[in-house]
Amino acid sequence: MTVPSPSTSTSTTTLLEPASADRATCAACPHPLAEHDPIGLRFCRATTAGNVERGCVCRTA
């Protein structure tokens, strides 16, 4: 019986990075995700997860 030998070649895997947050848009409001503070981000995620429409709490600079 022949046992296959381990491969000596290496494979390179390219990992795809998610879209950068500064380019990503929010699904709940018209603001880019990069402009969300922690409260706004949590609010918008909850709005999207709950599939509800409500006002925006994002802070504008």
Mean pLDDT by 10 residues, the chain (61 residues): 58 46 80 91 93 83 54
CA distance 26 to 34: 9
- E strands, the chain, are none
Distance between CA 6 and CA 22 in Å, rounded?
A: 44
pLDDT value of position 60: 64
Domain ranges of the chain: 23-61
Q: Cα(29)–Cα(45) distance, rounded to whole angstroms?
A: 10
Q: What Cα–Cα distance (Å) separates residue 59 from each residue in 9, 23, 29, 34, 53?
A: 53, 18, 12, 12, 18
pTM (2 d.p.):
0.56
pLDDT at 16: 41
